[in-house]
Amino acid sequence: MSLPDLYLASSSPRRRELLAQIGINVVVLPQSVSEQYLSPETPSQYVQRLALGKAQAGLLTLPEAKLRPVLGADTAVVVDGEILGKPENKAVALAMLAQLSGRSHQVLSALAVVGKDILGQDRAEVRMSESRVYFRVIEAADRLAYWHTGEPKDKAGGYGIQGLAALFVERIEGSYSGVMGLPLFETGELLKPFGILPLAVSCVAELKK
């Protein structure tokens, strides 16, 4: 059995789909790391630390024979310097949507790749994408209806831009894929030192059909 291009230290189906979009063959290797915020780190330091921690944890689980680079990622929705995580319940989700209503917020998406580079050296690279998302006013009835779709339950900030929450978005400044959880421009740049070239990988896959 051939090795994947990359291991993904995340159970997020959205990240897996985004990597497939650029032709990267992955094996999912989800990792659980503490998401406790360590004061006085900034939100950007927080997401980068978690992304790197997930990638490093994933690499440690691989036997030597299966070593390939491991990608970890983390995304945070930030309002007035406060990180909005995944809502614990209905009340929290509705409060988050109310907080986001009629204004803009930041979405920080960090990714890290660890493993052997093209020279066979141990390497760890981290990048981050920052986007700004502008929401329309979300009426209470819309917030409640959105909660009942089930989408907010496992999403940072209580919404998924690739789903019905797109109805709330007036505009985005930055990376759409970054808001989804994996900025593809940064991903492509980060994979190059490890010899993973998405366009070349995609061409090979097409030729094999």
Task: Domain count for the chain, please give it.
Answer: 1
Which has the higher per-residue pLDDT, 31 or 92? 92
Q: How far apart are CA 64 and CA 84, in angstroms?
A: 38
pLDDT of residue 97: 96
Q: Is the pLDDT of residue 203 over 60?
A: no
Q: What is the CATH number of the domain that holds 81?
A: 3.90.950.10
Would 48 be classed as within a structural domain? yes
| pLDDT tens, position by position, 159-173 | 999 999 999 999 999
Q: Is the pLDDT of residue 122 over 60?
A: yes
Would 92 be classed as within a structural domain? yes
Going by the DSSP 8-state scheme, the letter that residue 168 receives in this structure is G
Would 199 be classed as within a structural domain? yes
The structure's pTM equals: 0.88
Q: Is the pLDDT of residue 204 over 50?
A: no
Our answer to whether residue 117 is catalytic in this structure is no
Would 1 be classed as within a structural domain? no
Q: How far apart are CA 51 and CA 90, in angstroms?
A: 27
Q: How far apart are CA 203 and CA 16, in angstroms?
A: 19
Q: Is the pLDDT of residue 75 over 90?
A: yes
List the domain range (segments joined by +) for residue 16: 6-207
Which has the higher per-residue pLDDT, 12 or 206? 12
Would 102 be classed as within a structural domain? yes
Q: How far apart are CA 144 and CA 132, in angstroms?
A: 24
Instruction: List all residues 6 or more positions away from 12 whose beta carbon is below 8 Å from its beta carbon.
Output: 73, 181, 182
Instruction: List all residues 6 or more positions away from 179 whose beta carbon is below 8 Å from its beta carbon.
Output: 107, 109, 131, 133, 161, 172
Mean pLDDT of 50-65: 88
Average pLDDT for the chain: 90
Would 16 be classed as within a structural domain? yes
Largest CA-CA distance found in the chain, in angstroms, rounded = 56
Would 153 be classed as within a structural domain? yes
Q: Give the relative orientation of helices 184-191 and 13-21 as an angle to the nearest 10 degrees.
A: 70
Pick the catalytic residue: 5, 74, 117, 122? 74
Would 180 be classed as within a structural domain? yes
